[in-house]
Structure 1
């Protein structure tokens, strides 16, 4: 693997190559997806393949007394039944950071739906029937479901023998991680405050609700290894966790990305990857596993539900004096990404505001609730919901306009964060708020027409429950800050291999990375970068696999920044090699080859004055140029475990929303009319994709505001709504108009000045909707999602 030792010579990119950076080029997979022809991982097929099935626990916390697989093994068509005792090595756990998750339950189960046994059979229905015949005798244990039960002096430990690197700094073994942030003197600042507001906020458990459930195909290979075709977010992380459990060296576990039907963080953790490979290696046959929707709710982590306790102070003229807050995140039975979520929640808990005196604590719990981990905007989403509600409370108490109050306290470039880290790139918080407030308002009473009420425009929609009686409009604002990239000292890098050659008389570039295309459009951007840097029209995107270096995870809004940076870096090195070939071949014929700054543009080599020196095809004739190079962003450092100080983040993204809602106050129904957004993206590499990311993130924020929540029984810790019948997500009828104002203020540290886009709008859309509903109803509404019963009578603290 080639890793450049220095910065490549910068050569100005050609600006005339069609389909380059800054253009709204279309997705290469777009037509196939909308016509139903795209091959997702669930569409994979192999001759003579078997079907895998997972038996999951029916209780949330219990000792496993016995497992009887006899009846299942005796069924015709069953090839294998595996339990914990059949695992091939002494390594039986995995995990993103803490290896606390068993491949199959051993001794006890810790959450509802935990994998207990595996079946491989010649038909999916046979596999399901066989799994149902496995007899598991459980002895149920008390469940840990909240902070009180988790941290009581006599609390049952979810993990009895913790030895991970966080165990030494937490006050109780049922706390995964704790991060305080202390800066300034909160007690003294409190004395200076003219007004103080407090709030207790509850954030519900959200599901990623990707439309393609988990699926994969494991194929045993002749050398004793296995090839896994899988829908995932991070091929190399999966590989690192899988190989030790399978008892294989990493070079015998090959992984290829298959079609991914959405992710949003839910595919960062392993699901059936190890299970499919175990069954394939045991049976010697390809094994396919496809979750149904019910199983998918148990097969991946969710967004952490949270309790947030906030106190803010401000002077009479509207300047914030201090913040004191405590954030309690429920991580469920296994750690997953909880430590990183705690780091984000604590370090971003102030929001995009200047507050010099803070006392912050964030923790994540081990409980017997479903495991929680990564989901779009993790940690920052929960905090934004609370601090934006606090901003509205303060503005109301001071008699100030809520937008102007925010603008008065908005951070800017140079602001010190509570962690002591300066914001060293544009932070146009005040400008985004100004822009979103200035956007035209949607017309009043849109449901009215000469023919009568158009019920589709009313709260309740086609249920025809109201014709406008009792409908009140509300408007609310919110703004958020989200970090981009991995933080706290993580070695965050990506790798790209770029090749240039002549195919059928035309220069062609091939880009090969391990980036997981999960719908974000990275394959489009990589081709745009190659066209811009190499001046070619034809770009081939090689399928992502583990035959190239790691690209890291498709998460944290990092892929365009980091893998895009790696592609750009590799292209620049390829370009240098191509020009060296040209100088060797043609330099003696034209002095400009040696003296001028040369560009690759439109398949030609030209001088900076536009003089054509040669066709690229002539330069590359008989030659192949290939470079594999890494790209790293600036280093970060862990937050101090006592004070929270440290340069923990790389980059920040900012978005502001204005929500316009109409509420039927008699029936408790809400219709979101518009969610206008203003966002700084640094540089819109593909403007159409940028709009799609902003509108998609906005819609997910809308979902958690008014409908999405996994409901867990507090007595049994069982999931009560594992289906899209009972877990509701926004449809086209629920999705409002989403006008977007895109600002492009370059970050000089990032490739092309870009800024991560996809997560920031998920933060501010939720509190904006809640603010609008509060504005319409006058209710406090301190939880998500808002339900009808919260609007029509006594406020319920828990749904």
Structure 2
């Protein structure tokens, strides 16, 4: 078979001679993406390939009585049709719990669940053939919320579950439950001068990445398969796919292809196993590319949530207690719901000192779409609720919202509700001060000096719905706390392989990891680390694949921390070998080679005083040095299943936002004028990339605040809006000015003192926008996303 045509992320990337740590180095893939030359996974091609298509269930809960594929198989150009009965080995997979069928196993549990696969010589042929498959469904009662999931006689969606959480939940339709109990809430409630309560709701948000799920599976002569795929975690995919195919892991070789965004939506399998199954069945390469409709059904979403909070404080604004109940809708399958529950519970009090807490967080199995990882991972839902509570308390006490937060802000040395001591900087009060101190945008920006109206600056924008009548301004604040890295005792490590050699008289470093570059800029930072540690100008980033050890997932704001740590660790080992080689070759010529303080800088071996001992290329000669190293952050531990106590997180990150909005109170339209952020990043390894991450996370939080929601029919559990026609995401016209104030307070436990950046701004941006709308309208606004009817009472 001919070689597969690969994308730029499947080719060696040269980063040029740009700077090391602390420089705003440009991305090697940036120009290609801006000009449209970058090849994503959807651009993969093989001259002999077939096209795969997935038949999905039109029902949310049904028993499959029969499947007739005869008409599909008889269609010209069709090479294979597969159902559950055709699977060669394991029939279920899952990130944490193996409860997700590869193809529906006699029962469908959500709208859009995969039922059958078709491989044909043209994508339209595959679609037409799939439409000919006749499935006889017997519809079953649907479970859509906590009431229907836990009522007496409720359908048990996974009656055969054997996962470790099953013994610790109050009902089999509860995926996981995590309490957090500390102090004495009842006694604190009795002492409180002010008590506020609130019930809040967060809708189902989609990651809405622009590059749909796609990949190419190529059968190999050894009976294995090579998969070129857009994903977030190559080795987690491998661990799940190999048993499904009945193959050992070394027969399933995976290479990362161009990823068009992820945000958590590519952590779970989508079409990976399907493409491989069809390729092995047909002995032909098989490509699957979802259209947008399929993409909405093909990946997990953010958990919708219902939250009830109660807070008590003294007259002088000191928090005494917090009690809350958080119910997350996990949908039909577990995905990463147990970890999301752990995050929501452990971070439910926010970045505040409160000694008495009583928390219950849980996730449900329902017949709604499966939910799992999305940027913020359980902390987003909690932040919306506790920040609304902070505003309520401030109003009840007659304090400015920032002042009340400042009086209760945690700092280094504070104790989390889980009992974990925050042992690195926690500049919550400073971030609030900084974001409050930023200048406000001018009023009435829609009016020119001559009195003319620029409708583009008004709510409704170019739709020309208003000329400023009924438009009022509001300002709101919020701050959030997010964990970094995998938690609760997970063995969170990464692997890096570094090779150093002389090429045409110039030292060249090659960095090889399995890190998924999904847009976060890891390919840039890893090159910067290599330049800094090895003193070389030229760094090559090798393709990410499973020929090197796991790098973990590109999620949890962990890649720069953990895989960056692995790159640094491996580079340090390479540097030691270089110095050993140099001492052996040149040590007799200069006594300084015996020094322990030798450095690699600008392609040379130098003393700490700057004296040049040798050119690095001369030290290397014809030899190459290659080292592979694993690196782990300090260990965490599981939360106690009764009390929630435990040092469950490795690091915390903090961000604060100030939102300025203008609201048309007659039409219920909102324009976010400005959304400013202050965030502590520990150390900005690439300041330009850091700013981009903060702005991107901020904009996703804005989307959740005012427009983004997958709407699920509460009776049928069918998705109503699986398209970008009806699921709205912010465009450039919705994007306000996004000032960013970066604070760098090093975390002594992390490489270079860095702190994970990507998720924290997604937390506080949503409640800041809603707080500003509340301030403008005087309305309670306890649900996101906001809709016009919430603001007009219609």
Please state which band the TM-score falls in when normalised by the shorter chain: over 0.9
CA distance in 2 between partners of 1:162 and 1:244 (Å): 19
Deviations 1:553-601 (A, max 9, x none): 0000000000000000000000000111111111101111112511111
| In structure 1, distance between residues paired with 2:615 and 2:645 | 55
Does 1:254 pair with 2:253? yes
> Shift of residue 477 of structure 1?
0.1
Q: Does 1:462 align with 2:474?
A: no
C-alpha distance in 2 between matches for 1:710 and 1:126: 30
- Give the distance between the partners of 1:769 and 1:503, measured in 2 at CA: 54
2:615 corresponding residue in structure 1: 615
Matched residue of 1:690: which SS? helix
State the match for 1:360 in structure 2.
359
CA apart distance, 1:286: 0.2
CA distance in 2, matches of 1:533, 1:734: 42
2:715 corresponds to 1:744? no
Query: Aligned to 1:608, what secondary structure does the other structure show?
Result: coil
Name the counterpart of 2:336: 337
In structure 1, the partner of 2:481 is 481
Which residue is equivalent to 1:21? 21
CA distance, structure 2, for counterparts of residue 760 and residue 455 of structure 1: 33
Match of 1:299 in 2: 298
2:186 maps to 1:187: yes
Aligned to 2:590: 590
Provide the C-alpha distance between the structure 2 equivalents of 1:346 and 1:451, rounded to a whole number of angstroms.
52
Between the aligned partners of 2:162 and 2:530, the Cα distance in structure 1 is: 46
Structure 2 match to 1:510: 510
- 8 A contact 2:746–2:752 mirrored in 1: yes
Matched ranges for 1:701-780 at <5 A: 701-780=701-780
Counterpart of 2:308? Answer: 309
Q: Is the 8 Å Cα contact of residues 56 and 115 (structure 1) preserved in structure 2?
A: yes
In structure 1, the residue matched to 2:670 is 670
2:431 and 2:656 in contact (8 A); partners too: yes
Q: How does 1:469-548 map to 2 (within 5 A)?
A: 469-548=469-548
Map of 1:153-552 to 2, 5 A cutoff?
A: 153-449=152-448, 450=450, 452-552=452-552
What are the superposed Cα offsets for residues 192-236 of structure 1, whole Å, 9 maximum, x if unpaired? 100000000000000000000000000000000000000000000
Q: Distance in 1 between matches of 2:619 and 2:789?
A: 71
How is 1:61-72 mapped onto 2 (pairs within 5 angstroms)? 61-72=61-72
What's the CA shift string for 1:166-186, capped at 9, x where partnerless?
A: 000000000000000010100
Q: State the secondary structure of the residue aligned to 1:42.
A: helix
| Offset of residue 335 of structure 1 | 0.1
- After superposition, residues 632-643 of structure 1 pair within 5 angstroms as 632-643=632-643
- Structure 1 residue matching 2:733: 3-state secondary structure: coil
Do the aligned partners of 2:194 and 2:314 also contact (CA within 8 Å) in 1? yes
Alpha-carbon shift at residue 288 of structure 1 (Å): 0.1
Preserved CA contact (<8 Å) 2:515 2:553: yes
- Asked if 2 retains the 8 angstrom alpha-carbon contact of 1:655 and 1:677, the reply is yes
Q: Is the contact between residue 596 and residue 607 of structure 1 (CA under 8 Å) also seen in structure 2?
A: no
> Structure 1 stretches (4+) deviating beyond 3 angstroms?
none
Once residues 163 and 527 of structure 1 are traced to their aligned partners in structure 2, the CA distance between those partners, rounded to angstroms, is 44
Q: Deviations over 1:72-112 (max 9, x none)?
A: 000010000000000001x1100000000000001110000
Matches of 1:744 and 1:597, distance apart in 2: 28
Instruction: Describe the superposition over 1:498-527 as per-residue Cα deviations: whole angstroms up to 9, x where unpaired.
Output: 000011211000000000000000000000
Aligned partners of 2:431 and 2:655 also within 8 Å: yes
Map 1:550-569 → 2, pairs under 5 A: 550-569=550-569
Cα RMSD for the two superposed structures: 0.6
For the residues of structure 2 that align with 1:97 and 1:470, how far apart are their CA atoms? Answer: 51
TM-score (norm 1): 0.97
Distance 1:774 1:597 in 2: 59
1: CA distance between counterparts of 2:161 and 2:287?
34
Separation of aligned partners in 2, 1:430 and 1:597: 40
Asked if structure 1 preserves the Cα contact closer than 8 Å seen for 2:175 and 2:334, the reply is: yes
Q: What are the Cα deviations for residues 666-713 of structure 1, in whole angstroms up to 9, with x where unaligned?
A: 110100000010000000000000000000000000000000000000
SS of aligned partner of 2:718? coil
Counterpart for residue 35 of structure 1: 35
**Contact between 2:296 and 2:722, CA under 8 Å: does it hold in 1?**
yes
The alpha carbon displacement at 1:616 in A equals 0.6
Question: Equivalent residue of 1:733, what SS?
Answer: helix
CA contact (8 A) 1:49 1:286 kept: yes
Any conservation in 1 of the 2:18–2:25 contact (CA below 8 Å)?
no
Displacement, 1:160? 1.6
Query: 1:18 Cα shift?
Result: 5.0
User: Structure 2: how far apart are the matches of 1:747 and 1:738?
Assistant: 26
2:785 matches 1:785: yes
SS at match of 2:732: coil
Output the CA distance in 1 between the equivalents of 2:34 and 2:648.
Answer: 40
Assess if the C-alpha contact under 8 Å between 2:343 and 2:378 holds in 1. Answer: yes
Distance 1:149 1:681 in 2: 43
Superposition map of 1:94-105 within 5 A: 94-105=93-104
1:8 corresponding residue in structure 2:
none
CA distances 1:694-748 after superposition (whole Å, capped 9, x unpaired): 0000000000000000000000000000000100000001010000000000000
Contact 1:596 1:608 in 2 (8 A): no
- Output one character per residue of 1:597-646: Cα deviation in whole Å (capped at 9) or x when no partner: 11111111111111111111101111100000000001011000000000
Query: CA–CA distance in 2 between the matches of 1:486 and 1:36?
Result: 34
The worse-fitting range, judged by mean Cα deviation, of 785-794 and 627-636 is: 785-794
Q: Which position in structure 2 is the counterpart of 1:14?
A: none
Structure 2 vs 1, CA of residues 596 and 366 (structure 1 numbering), >3 Å: closer, same or farther? closer
- Decide whether the 8 Å contact of 2:109 with 2:332 is kept in 1: yes
1:689 matched residue in structure 2: 689
Q: How far apart, CA to CA, are the structure 2 residues paired with 1:760 and 1:718?
A: 32
User: 2:139: which partner in 1?
Assistant: 140
Aligned counterparts of 1:153 and 1:601: Cα–Cα separation in 2: 70
Separation in 2, partners of 1:148, 1:284: 48
- Cα distance between partner residues in 1 of 2:740 and 2:274: 43
Distance 2:724 2:731 in 1: 11
Q: Is the 8 A contact 2:230 2:258 kept in 1?
A: yes
How many residues are paired up? 777
CA contact (8 A) 2:50 2:286 kept: yes
Match of 1:12 in 2: none
CA distance in 2, matches of 1:573, 1:754: 21
1:451: Cα distance to partner? 6.3
Q: Is the 8 A contact 1:500 1:510 kept in 2?
A: yes
Are 2:117 and 1:112 aligned? Answer: no
SS in 1 for 2:784: coil
TM-score normalised to structure 2 length: 0.98
CA distance in 1, matches of 2:451, 2:193: 54
> Counterparts of 2:318 and 2:293 in 1: how far apart (Å)?
49
Q: Equivalents in 2 of 1:585, 1:153: separation in Å? A: 79
Match of 1:9 in 2: none
